[in-house]
Structure 1
Amino acid sequence: MTISPSSGSASSEPQTVTVTVTDNTGSDRTATIKFSANNGTVSKNLTVKQTGPEGEPEIEITTVADFLKAEVSDDVWYTLKGQITDLYNTEYGNFTLVDETGSVKVYGLTAEKVNKNDKSFSTLGLKEGDIVTLCGTRDEYNGEDQVGGPSYYISHEEGELPEPEPVNAVYFNDFDKEAAQNNDGWPFLDSFDGWKNETGSGAGSVTYESSGASARTTGGSAGGYSNYDGSGVNNIFFGKDAYFQVGNITLGTETNYTLSFGTEKFDQGGDSQFMHEEFHVYISNDGTKWVELDYSFPNGAPNGKWDLASTTFTVPSGTSALYFYFNADVASVYRLDDLMLAVSSEAGTSIDFSKGTEIGGGGETPDAPAEITVADFIKAPVDDNVYYILTGEITDLYNTEYGNFTLVDETGSVKVYGLTAEKVSSNDKSFSTLGLKEGDVVTLCGTRAEYKGEIQVGGPAYYISHEPGTEEPEDPVDPDSPFVSNVTWTLGTNSYNEKATVNGEGPVDVVKIGKSKAKGSIDITLPAGTTKVNFYAVSWNNETATLSFMMGGEEVGFQAIAKNAGAANSQPYTFTVTESDYYTFNTPMPLPSDMTITVTTQENARAILWGIKAITE
């Protein structure tokens, strides 16, 4: 394909560009021509399509194994084909995709290519077992590989999952009645019933006890990270001093049984070799005195993968019920799934319940939360089982539905990602009942959490007490100040309304776009007649950001932003700026009506904007 002319000077007269394409003797093909002006700040794409005698080109499929080897990038798209398994969210389209080379989580599938998940998955009529072809980016979240984008649908073939072989189980639980949701923390077993999916001849009157154990969908037992055909969806994660007990499994007259369970040890950045001496299994006939069971794996203890462990034993004649107790000596590395007790055709280890020992039956009582400063809280390790009490001033209250704000004491500041009236497993939106406002001094209790590298109080945190603040009202900024915006914007992904002092003037309303290494965006509403937009902007203190401007789904410009030492830590920021931090974006033409422009940062760079002013004719 040749283009003539390929460049030229600006002119007020229409210009003709000739595109010449050679004969196509192969498959249908397309190419994109990008027209740019104003030193690249304004651009428009033209797609040229040419049919060929061979028709539609064959889609190049990337295997899951090759996809997982690729680098994380939002800019490179891959076409994958595989079977839908573990479909745990039918609203957004979250499932595991499996082909002959491995498995990967698909975090959202839409009917067409869109910038944000539009919840169109349900219109596709897909189900578990179907073979789907999709296109998505290589993504990662909290160390877990996934298909992002969101991915979009190309085609599918009807399919079915193989029916599980019938098992004459006395007790079986795959923990998959309802997929657990990570709403400011995974739910503990005593506050969520979605893992109670027991079946079997002896499961009618079972009881459960637990502490420090939570239900999770991450790190599942299905797919490429498992040496057995695990059920996936939920698994039980053992946190600090965690245990899980299932009791009162009713027996028949048989005495020989096999207990099997899927388990995994995975220590990110550490040793993932499964150690029997770290993960204990006990049996009891009364839930009081326990005998430890030896168990084994088909091919030896696994390393960083799931496998199915089992043990066969013989109980005394007349035993009417059994209890099993699982606990881990090492926190946050062991998991459990697919627990089954079945009658065995062979005798096993003889169990003498009279030699059982008391192990507490319910684990140790967790320590009372420690009262610490923000500085000490930040130094603590991430752990969703350890709670801390903090006291500080509420600032930057940016979400009054869930209770999201920044907590400040004399030692530092930290983001509180959700505050509830009482301790709950997931945010119940009770923050508004507390009557809290910016400036109040609140005492709360929460866990040391982290999201995409940003330290935060999780749990969700719950309220203990507060003292009304005596904060003096802020002096309003002169509305004619160059630092005040004359447009409105809507927050998109990873964007936040914040405050700053600029050249000694403030507080000024600013908007931060981007979070840690993740890109962010906002939508600015421009009035009819707008010809350009002036704004102040700075990049994070150790980064150089580039803003992309989109209108009507097309990129219409971009702007590099200089870094500023004041763009660091948390708000309120203090900036010293000059005219070099003042930027102008020219619209392609005077806007015929009110329109929306999307401003986006790229990965690994954050930007802060203010004084956004639309200039009209």
Structure 2
Amino acid sequence: MKLKYLFPLFIATVALMTGCADEESVSLLDEIQVSSSYVAIPEGGGSTTITVTAQDSWTAEKVTTEKNKVEWLTLSSATGSAGETELTFSAPSAIDGRTAEVLLHSGGKTQRINIIQGLTKISEARVAEVKAGPDGKTFRVSGVCTSIVNTEYGNWYLTDETGTLYIYGTLDKKGGTKNFLSLGLEVGDEVTVEGPKSSYKGDPQMVNVTVIKINKSLVRVDSVENEMLPVEGGEFTAYLTCKGQGVSVEIPEDAKSWLSISSIQSAGTNAVVKFKAAANTGGDRGTTLVFHTTDGAKDYTTETTLNQKGAIVKASVAEFLAAAVGDTQYRLTGVITNIANATYGNLYLRDFSGETYVYGVKDFKDKGLKVGDIITIVGKRAEYKGTPQVASAVLESIIPVTAATIAEVLTKPDSSQDYYMVTGEITSIADAVYGNLYLKDGDSEIYLYGCHPGYGATGDFRKNFLAAKGIKVGDILTVIATKSSYKEVPQLINGIYFSHESAQ
């Protein structure tokens, strides 16, 4: 039996023995004492009560971490008064053993209470069995590290013949976090880990695993040249260490039309594999290259990624709408006029030339975007039932826009970086060609130096917009602009039209 199994058993035994002592205080603190500093809760669920004796009021808190909130443990009270108080610890049934620590504070002193529920039972399993198993159960599983996505916390993928499992967090040899690189785990290594199974949005994973054993792969990628190839193509080189019987690689199906093997050279345990990529007339592309070797009985692998920049065309919305459906990437900048789906980022984007529907923006819900913000996206020209739209959009930049009254804008410092959305009544038009006018909101009025049809308007596109839209004195106009001053008089400049309401 391993020591780590003996230790919880010892704690449980001590806890049970201590709990049997009638009103015996095992604490040596004068300020706060407990009848038992070790508490055992039945594995099937239940409660255990101890007596707290304090000279003053006291508080209780569970020791938690970012990834372990100890939500399974319930305390009957988090506070108490001087004298004797019963404190009950409760927990539902546990799939595996678990432990926790509770701190009692009183009179500047702290009493620690160790909680144990059952004994940890580790089940050896394959990936498919882990994925089908209950959350909270501890498994030991072996496989090959096929991809590493985070080298600080140790997030990676483990694969065996039954499937692939995501590992969310890997502890170092001392049980610490954020020290993944100290383990020396690489793609292609065979590894055995232990840890609890959980789920994230329905997807199975193992969390904060302990590495039991690493069997280093006989082949690894030491370095690469031109990991990001230019749009015009070129040569990608992978330098490998191979301790097996030669090295081989195949071009993946998704890259055979544009990638080929130039040469494979070996000298001792060193190997150099060169690839040639054709010019890229479409969007960004990439592939995963898997290298193989063998010791005569077992296949070992390692992998690397190759990416190539695509041709990104900077375009107005009108130019984008006129383009053909395809993989060409377009860069568009404009104002968000409507958000149709706040989860996926389905929205409408408008510049001076027109408006288009964007069918989703990657990671939209994490960006904090809102109607009125000015964004730059890159995406493909697509369409749905004949209607043009942007597909596979990726957010490149954001200019946040703040809604403000005229009175609020008048108090702001001059800045060409801060954009405001302002609404007011047009009281007079000083220049109908460029859209210079006065806006009033309540008792506050401000001069707008230029009202343009949308973001990106230049030259003649800035002219005669008011007439084209039928905007006149008395209308309610909403614009996006920055605050400036002319001869110490505050004004809005370079106004971007957002909307208006006709007075008639």
State the TM bucket, normalised to the shorter chain. 0.3 to 0.5
Q: Which has the higher helix share?
A: 2
TM-score, L = length of structure 1: 0.29
Kindly name which structure, 1 or 2, has the bigger radius of gyration based on alpha carbons: 2
Q: Which has the higher strand share?
A: 2
**Greater relative contact order: 1 or 2 (C-alpha under 8 angstroms, separation 6 or more)?**
1
